[in-house]
Amino acid sequence: MNKLSMRSKDLTQENIDKIAVFFPNVITEARDENGKITRAIDFDLLKQELSDVLVEGEKERYQLTWPGKKEAILNANTPIEKTLRPIKNDSVDWDNTQNIYIEGDNLEVLKLLQESYLNKIKCIYIDPPYNTGKDFIYKDDFKEPLEEYLEESGQIDNENNRLFLNTESNGRFHSDWLTMMYSRLKIARNLLKEDGVIFISIDDNEVTNLSKICNEIFGEKNFIANVAVVNNLKGRSDEKYIATAHESLLIYQKGNFETYGVPLPEEYLEEYKLEDEKGRYRLQGLRKRGDSSRREDRPQMYYPFYYDSNSDTISLSKTSEECIEILPKLSDGSDGRWRWGKDTAEKNMDLLTARLVSGRNEYDIFQKDYMNDGDNIKTVKPKSFWLGNEFSSDSGTLAFKQLFGRNIFQNPKPLGLIKYILSQATKNDDIILDFYSGSATSAHAVMQLNAEDGGKRKYMMVQLPEETNANSEANKAGYKTICEIGKERIRRAAKKIKEETGADIDYGFRVYRVDSSNMKDVYYTPDELGQMNLEDLTSNIKEDRTGEDLLIQVMLETGLELSLPMESKQIEGKTIYCVAGNSLIACFDEDVSESLIKKIAEEKPLRVVFRDSAFSDDSARINVEELFKMLSPSTEIQVL
């Protein structure tokens, strides 16, 4: 019977485990800050293991470093004693929805999601603070006492989340910003699927540094693009030298991302003027043009086609003396090559046609490029330069005003931009994460795209509940935090989409909020229990926490997604919680009877959780284990 840790994943110890597999000789022991012996790494020895020359000390090397980088790594790896609490009153269609909205510091949230969403997120989009001297930067000191922090910074939000203003005078310094971003991106990478991708909006203030830390975290080989997104066609006239008209969009993959492409631009559609029984198409020359177009570049792609003008057919073999041989020739008459090899040409012969080239009095081979791919509209690779009304800042403001009747949120991201991103990166039931959610444009875009293409994408929004300015239009309208604006936008967008499309999609969302652990301090440090804490022996669970609160924290530790169906029922006067059928069954009541345990075991759950205090003594615990061995031997039994 294992005891749950009820804290987020300890990535430091996990990394030590991984290193121990390959280099067991570098594992040593050290005393931690409390004087306890713990496993550690002999870094000098590890350096030598990874070098083929004698390591004598620090050497110059290519790297990005700044004051606070080690702190950022430590922050990413250090576990926290926090949890998420369900907020059903703010949620919509709790029992059926698979969408998630989380209020809280996004670093804490990312830590809490490590088990449940490891390698499960297909696409991350974030629009982080740009470090302009006007943005809030998150402060990540999880060990500092609240009183000391308040004295130091003087700023918290209404949920006691830490943040400070990176002032104009400090805006020229990059360290605070880099420290904030590094730890979050480091954890975010773990959540991505192997074919996952992250898109990050950023401006010129930090695009260079962001590229460098992304190269370090995701790997330089996983860089996909730095896209220029034109969001202000006129440019910003208040800038001194250049009227900047664009922002950058950095794109990195986890490992093996493949784009689904984007819809054909309007200017492309005009090219599809020809039509046959398969639909509209255009002709593309099969001869390779541009670089590497000569015969010697790819000799195997130099071969003849044969055209029979009587039957208007082409083949790779000469079927009659009347057949015309067609070879790939460059404009200067020298030998070129085809874009396809022989095998590809043979498989796709129905897409090829011969045409007499005007001015040359000779035939050439062309490929029929159809506008539609079966029932699907043809897509193309997105370009590195995105220009259109749907990407402009004005369109983001307009979409927001259409929902709220007025503009109460500064610079919401363009809805069209997020849709364009999601259309090329996601489909079906992929999960999209935005941990700088803001006005929740990403959630709006997921619903809109699902309504248009029938997808079942799911979103996860994370937003710090920053207070709105007391004199702002948002505050006057009754929205005290950014989270209140985001949640209301989702509700209004859902209503609008449903009215306009009638689409049968998921319009709901579950709300969770970061809070301290459900467990008292004695749960984590029982050896520090003193005379003044004896009352804590009666229960290691905080008095204001419900069974649902405990269930969510157990789900986070045991790796169950927050969107899974949950139900509660009464058996023998006790409350039983079930997650995804029999994936998890939990009972957090005291004095659990043997007959109740038998009924739970008969459900053959994959995992069952009880309160440790539900059993009177060790013999009762042993009896529980024996009952499950007999009735459901594969069940994992855990206690808290």
Residue 241: CATH number of its domain: 3.40.50.150
Write down the H helix ranges in 426-481.
Answer: 441-453, 473-476
Residues 428, 368 within the same domain: no
- Domain membership of residue 74 (yes or no) is no
Tens digit of each residue's pLDDT (9 = 90 or more) over 90-116: 999 999 999 999 999 999 999 999 999
Q: Which residues pair with 137 in a beta bridge?
A: 164
In this structure, are residues 611 and 639 in contact, taking their beta carbons and an 8 Å threshold?
yes
Which of 43-47, 90-94, 381-385, 465-469 has the least mean pLDDT? 43-47
Domain closes at, from 463, 486, 514: 514
Dihedral (C-alpha) 336, 341, 344, 345: value to the nearest 10 degrees?
40
Q: How far apart are CA 113 and CA 431, in angstroms?
A: 13
pLDDT above 90: percentage of residues in the chain: 66
CA angle 183, 185, 187 (to 5 degrees): 70
Q: How far apart are CA 483 and CA 439, in angstroms?
A: 8
Residues 505, 614 within the same domain: no
Q: How far apart are CA 468 and CA 275, in angstroms?
A: 57
Residues 22, 93 within the same domain: no
Tens digit of each residue's pLDDT (9 = 90 or more) over 340-394: 999 999 999 999 999 998 777 889 999 999 888 766 677 889 999 999 999 999 9
Asked if the model's pLDDT at residue 45 lies above 50, the reply is: yes
Output phi, psi for 427, to 5 deg.
-165, 180
CA of residue 297 relative to chain centroid, distance = 41
* Burial tier of 8 (Cβ tally within 10 Å: 0-12, 13-18, 19+): buried
- Domain membership of residue 527 (yes or no) is no
Write down the H helix ranges in 78-223.
Answer: 106-112, 146-153, 175-191, 207-218
Residues 466, 418 within the same domain: yes
Residues 603, 629 within the same domain: yes
Residues 239, 124 within the same domain: yes
Number of domains in the chain: 4
Q: What is the mean pLDDT of residues 160-165?
A: 52
In this structure, are residues 56 and 62 in contact, taking their beta carbons and an 8 Å threshold?
no
Q: What is the mean pLDDT of residues 570-588?
A: 96
Which of 88-102, 126-140, 421-435, 462-476 has the least mean pLDDT? 126-140
- Domain membership of residue 69 (yes or no) is no
pTM: 0.83
Residues 112, 191 within the same domain: yes
Domain closes at, from 480, 514, 548: 514
pLDDT tier for residue 154 given thresholds of 50, 70 and 90 = very low
- Domain membership of residue 525 (yes or no) is no
Q: Residue 563 maps to which CATH number?
A: 3.40.350
Residues 510, 574 within the same domain: no
Structural domain that includes position 287: 271-377
User: From the CB of residue 371, how many other CB atoms can be counted at a distance below 10 Å?
Assistant: 18
- Domain membership of residue 116 (yes or no) is yes
Which of 55-59, 333-337, 401-405, 467-471 has the least mean pLDDT? 55-59
In this structure, are residues 604 and 610 in contact, taking their beta carbons and an 8 Å threshold?
no
- Lookup: tokens for 595: 């007959």
Task: Provide the pairing of β-strand 121-126 with 352-357.
Answer: unpaired
Which of 122-136, 201-215, 297-311 has the least mean pLDDT? 122-136
Residues 485, 581 within the same domain: no
- Give the position of tokens 């959780």: 609
- Domain membership of residue 39 (yes or no) is yes
Q: How far apart are CA 505 and CA 512, in angstroms?
A: 22
Supply the pLDDT for residue 7. Answer: 75
CA-closest candidate to residue 367, choices 381, 350, 379, 380: 350
Per the document, the length of the chain is: 640
Output phi, psi for 304, to 5 deg.
-90, 150
Q: How far apart are CA 503 and CA 509, in angstroms?
A: 17
* Burial tier of 516 (Cβ tally within 10 Å: 0-12, 13-18, 19+): middle
Domain closes at, from 514, 543, 562: 514
- Domain membership of residue 344 (yes or no) is yes
Residues 386, 363 within the same domain: no
Residues 91, 176 within the same domain: yes
Residues 154, 22 within the same domain: no
Q: How far apart are CA 548 and CA 554, in angstroms?
A: 10
- Domain membership of residue 67 (yes or no) is no
Q: How far apart are CA 467 and CA 447, in angstroms?
A: 27
Q: Is the dihedral of CA 382, 387, 392, 396 positive or negative?
A: negative
